[in-house]
Copies of this chain bind each other. A is one copy, B any other.
Amino acid sequence: MPNPTAAMLVIGDEILSGRTHDTNTRYLAGVLTEAGIDLREARVVSDNAAAIIGAVQTLAARYDHVFTSGGIGPTHDDITADAVAQAMGRKIDVREDAREILAAHYKKVGIELNAARLRMARIPDGARLIDNPVSAAPGFVLGNVHVMAGVPGIFKAMVASVVPALTGGAPLLSRSMDVDRGEGDIAAPLAELAARFPALSFGSYPYQRQGAYGTNVVARGQDAGMLDAALAEMQDIFG
């Protein structure tokens, strides 16, 4: 059975202006790879309703799972929840279960749950809340779209709570070795090796260490025995 597929949608002007460096995509990529879910595409769009709606509709139709990060805070430009609701054809308003979570949190920390913060309780009809152990304001799952926070610490915590439940296919395994030659020298034998193992995918990643050139060759797949066989061939060829 092929692995489930996924896409990441990062939302925020601050990423596209270069002000903030997106680290959530790489983090999610690593978690999904371990979980046996293939991240096929990532997009970054601005805090613009039409851009978010268009991307959500396209990605939700094309992939098994969509993960978003950003745009669910208390300020006027945090429009992700409303845009996702519109993209999926659902109504949205302050929802009582989310309001209670925020009220309990802000009471505990002694901060007023004002109108701005209450925006974070806007949850589309039919959505399931995603736990936020860091700062309370929940994310949500609507259909196959997982809406999560942009702040990296909160994003990671939300990923930890949703990805295990998705129970992907068999986890993707890998075998790799360092070859002390440049990519151009190993390209031909690597292509032959890849042709002999069509069920595996091969990548090559050049590096320089202590002034020495080399290439890290990686085989990825679901079958440990086949990967071991490929690694043995790699070692014969490049060792």
Contacts and interface: CB of A to CB of B under 8 A. Distances in A.
Interface of A: 13-23, 25-33, 38-46, 51, 73-77, 111, 114-117, 119, 151, 182-188, 190-191, 194, 201-206, 208, 210-213, 218, 220
Given A17-B29, A18-B33, A73 B183 contact: yes
B18 A27 contact: yes
A76 B213 contact: no
B33 A183 contact: no
Given A21-B26, A41-B44, A213-B211, A188 B116 contact: yes
A90 to B, nearest CB: 24
* Count of identical protomers in the assembly: 2
Contacts of A188: 114-116
B30 A74 contact: no
Contacts of A26: 15, 18, 21-22
A173 to B, nearest CB: 12
B33 A40 contact: no
Contacts of A17: 29-30, 33, 39, 220
- Which of A31, A187, A208 has the most CB atoms of chain B within a 10 A radius of its CB? A187
A87 to B, nearest CB: 16
The 3 A-B pairs with the shortest beta carbon distances in the complex, nearest first, are: A18-B29, A18-B30, A116-B187
A22 B23 CA distance: 9
Given A27-B18, A203-B14, A205-B20, A75 B42 contact: no
Contacts of A213: 208, 210-211
Contacts of A29: 15-18
A39 B218 CA distance: 33
A201 B13 CA distance: 10
17 contacts: A13-B201, A13-B203, A15-B29, A16-B38, A16-B40, A16-B42, A18-B29, A41-B43, A41-B45, A43-B43, A73-B183, A75-B191, A76-B190, A76-B191, A77-B202, A117-B184, A119-B187
A205 B17 CA distance: 13
A23 B43 CA distance: 14
Contacts of A74: 183-184, 187
A182 to B, nearest CB: 8
